[in-house]
Structure 1
Amino acid sequence: MTAVEIVGDALVVTTTGLDRLGSLRRRITVPLTHVRGATADPGVAREPAGIRSPGTHVPRVVTAGSHRRDGEWTFWNLRASQQAVVVELTGERFRRLVLGVDDARAVAERVEHVLTRG
């Protein structure tokens, strides 16, 4: 499970359970000033994640952890049974966060709302 929260002036992504083991990360905290936007993206699961380092990849089941593609790092924590939300970043190690959540549209709207009011 992946939780996406706005805490103060930061976006906090927390992984739990088996997702934490697969992604090898418990938490990612990003200042909101480094978040460019968020979108619900059902097609992202068909994109190649890149070279994992470290992480987990079982085709059509789960992609988790740090992946490098075209010189950029992306953090993935996405199971096939989940909806995907993509968070675009700037000034961080990861260029994108690809996260599996229960309601991708609601998460993206919440992030976008915070970004536009701040």
Structure 2
Amino acid sequence: MFDIGLAVDNDSPMATVTTSPQTFTLTLTRGEKLLGLLRDLDVPRSAVESVDVVPDGLTAVRGIRAPGLGLPGVRAIGTWRRRGEKSMVSVRRGQPAVRVRLTGQRFDTLLVGADDAATLADALTAGR
């Protein structure tokens, strides 16, 4: 198992991503779970279609929030929907993010803010 160290613990203001050869786990903070009406997510690596780094995660959010928290220009946490796509989002202003496109999962896309988004993207694509 490889923890890329995006957060020290689950009370920190950021999600934690932990990878293994078969899966990766997105562990949300209590605040993200409560405000976004979300839960932690385990994803098999075989479901990962693509991984991109976006320079500002907040500007990459597309669709209508349902349910979740959207503070315009500041923070987005929750589920965003648009025609044929459902995204799990946890991003903040000015922070880079990783966009993970999935197949056969509850969400079609994950958009997660990370201070070192390039390292996270590399960890998610390693071994594919």
What's the TM-score once normalised by structure 1's chain length?
0.86
Distance 2:76 2:124 in 1: 23
Distance 1:73 1:62 in 2: 18
| 4+ runs deviating over 4 angstroms | none
The AA in structure 2 aligned to 1:42 is P
- Count of residue correspondences: 115
Quote the residue 2:69 is aligned against. Answer: 56
Quote the residue 1:22 is aligned against. Answer: 35
Give the stretch that moved more between structures: 100-109 or 44-53.
Answer: 44-53
Corresponding residue to 1:46 among 43, 49, 59: 59
CA-based RMSD of the aligned residues comes to: 1.7
Q: Which has the higher strand share?
A: 1
Equivalent pair of 1:39/1:85 in contact (CA under 8 Å): yes
Task: State, as a whole percentage, how many aligned pairs show the same letter.
Answer: 34
Secondary structure of the corresponding residue to residue 108 of structure 2: strand
The AA in structure 1 aligned to 2:72 is P
Equivalent pair of 2:24/2:43 in contact (CA under 8 Å): yes
1:91 pairs with 2:104? yes
Secondary structure of the corresponding residue to residue 94 of structure 1: coil
What's the TM-score once normalised by structure 2's chain length?
0.80
Quote the residue 1:113 is aligned against. Answer: 126
Quote the residue 2:79 is aligned against. Answer: 66
